[in-house]
């Protein structure tokens, strides 16, 4: 049986740091942001595009895997802030990496994007079609943020990358559970710039190209669907929460993560977070936290990692990984 395992990881964020006090002018505060969201600062691009961040993270992951760009068969890039509407951002990254043997395409699932992309990559590897797949989650939400609104506090820019390779050993991804509920599409959206509302002077002047978020709906949905999805994957695979070494979640807000952990009886020390330094990097969150966790911890064969994400759509899912 072929499975897919994590052979290398990398992450990259712009050097420019924006601290919470920056948002005092739009009616927010360091105290509110840290207490409610767990954020101290975030990285904001000063001209680097999503593909620039994705390229840097991707190159680091390829090096970490002891491979070269020529060894990559497929690049899947999860983003909601591609450099252009066409071609895909993955094409920009393939060109920058000179990964000339790689097929490349984007996946659009916003904050669940990296998990959906990883699940796709794993299917290609398990089927025997590809051996080395580069999954990247990258976003520059600074480019779709209205900096005069106080909800500008939520997001940062960043990218994380994972090289997944084939193995016949007893390790790798055990299972994914993915869900979508498109009836939630209005609760987090970028209304203009697509075929429904093409870009015009009006869409620009009315702020239609900035993200719009219903924070209460995001909170309510996240704390409902994520714990259920964690319980679903554990019970389907006859595992218990005590067997989990770490939960590597998407990073929406510290309060959401605390409530999720409480609902599934997981001690919060096992929940990896880095929102204090990066805020929510959307597609970047899971591969960035994975890269940091792998670089800073020792693992033994058989250790179990749990991944969980929820995002616009709604989209959500979990994955179980055996070291
Ligand atoms: C944003 C969130 C903290 C707001 O809390 P809420 O109770 O649902 O919403 P409210 O609008 O009633 O705000 C509650 C209080 O916070 C304050 N507040 C909301 N946003 C704020 C901000 N950015 N800065 C400072 N204060 C803020 C409000 O003024 C209000 O204060 P008050 O009680 O003194 O009037 C909460 O909905 C949340 O965490 N949502 C999840 C959003 C998320 O994770 N998004 C990222 C993933 S897509």
119 plus 215 within the same structural domain: no
- Ligand 1 centroid to Cα of residue 139, in Å, is 23
Residue at a domain's end among 110, 140, 169:
169
Residue at a domain's end among 148, 169, 190:
169
44 plus 160 within the same structural domain: yes
pLDDT-based confidence at residue 127 (cuts at 50, 70, 90)? very high
165 plus 194 within the same structural domain: no
127 plus 200 within the same structural domain: no
- Ligand 1 centroid to Cα of residue 214, in Å, is 10
For residue range 165-176, what is the model confidence (pLDDT) as tens digits?
999 999 999 999
The reported pLDDT for the residue numbered 115 is: 98
146 plus 178 within the same structural domain: no
Residue at a domain's end among 129, 146, 169:
169
* Ligand 1-lining residues (CB < 6 angstroms): 28, 32, 36, 111, 150-151, 153-154, 188, 213, 215-216, 218-219, 252-253, 255-256, 280
276 plus 213 within the same structural domain: yes
Residue 179 bears catalytic tag: no
The reported pLDDT for the residue numbered 312 is: 97
CATH of the domain at 306: 3.40.47.10
Give per-residue burial for 185-195: e unless 16+ CB within 10 Å, then b. eebbbbbbbee
Indicate the pTM of the whole model.
0.97
For residue range 36-83, what is the model confidence (pLDDT) as tens digits?
999 999 999 999 999 999 999 999 999 999 999 999 999 999 999 999
- Ligand 1 centroid to Cα of residue 36, in Å, is 8
CA distances, 317 to each of 45, 85, 181, 184, 314 (Å): 29, 26, 12, 15, 10
16 plus 162 within the same structural domain: yes
Domain tally, the chain: 2
Number of helical (H) and strand (E) elements in the chain, helices listed first:
9, 13
Domain holding 262, by residue range, is 174-322
- Ligand 1 probe mutation, 219, 220, 260, 285, most atoms within 8 A of CB: 219
128 plus 194 within the same structural domain: no
106 plus 230 within the same structural domain: no
Q: Are 110 and 116 in contact (CB under 8 A)?
A: no
307 plus 252 within the same structural domain: yes
């Amino acid at each position: 049986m072929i499975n897919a395992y994590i052979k290398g990881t990398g992450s990259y964020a712009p050097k420019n740091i924006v601290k919470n006090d920056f948002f005092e002018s739009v009616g927010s505060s360091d105290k509110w942001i840290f207490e409610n969201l767990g954020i101290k600062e975030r990285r904001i691009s000063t001209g680097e595009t999503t593909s620039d961040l994705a390229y840097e993270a991707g190159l680091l992951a390829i090096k970490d895997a002891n491979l070269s760009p020529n060894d990559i068969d497929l690049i899947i890039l999860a983003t909601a802030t591609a450099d252009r509407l066409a071609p895909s951002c993955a094409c920009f990254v393939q060109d920058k990496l000179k990964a000339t043997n790689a097929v490349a395409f984007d996946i659009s699932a916003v904050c669940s994007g990296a998990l959906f992309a990883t699940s796709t990559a794993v299917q290609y590897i398990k089927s025997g079609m590809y051996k080395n797949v580069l999954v990247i989650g990258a976003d520059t939400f600074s480019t779709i943020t209205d900096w005069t609104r106080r909800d500008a506090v939520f997001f940062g820019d960043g990218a994380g990358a994972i090289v997944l390779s084939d193995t016949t050993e007893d390790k790798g991804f055990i299972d994914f559970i993915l869900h979508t509920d498109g009836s939630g599409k209005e609760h987090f959206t970028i209304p203009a710039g697509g075929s429904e509302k093409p870009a015009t002077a009006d869409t620009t002047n009315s702020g239609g190209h900035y993200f719009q978020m219903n924070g209460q709906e995001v909170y309510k949905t996240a704390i409902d669907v994520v714990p259920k999805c964690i319980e679903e994957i554990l019970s389907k695979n006859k595992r218990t929460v005590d067997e989990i070494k770490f939960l590597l979640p998407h990073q929406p807000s510290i309060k959401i993560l605390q409530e999720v952990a409480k609902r599934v009886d997981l001690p919060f020390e096992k929940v990896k977070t880095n929102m204090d330094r990066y805020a929510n990097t959307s597609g970047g969150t899971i591969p960035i936290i994975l890269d940091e966790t792998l670089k800073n911890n020792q693992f033994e064969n058989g250790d179990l990692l749990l991944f969980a994400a929820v995002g616009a759509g709604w989209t959500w899912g979990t994955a179980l990984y055996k070291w």
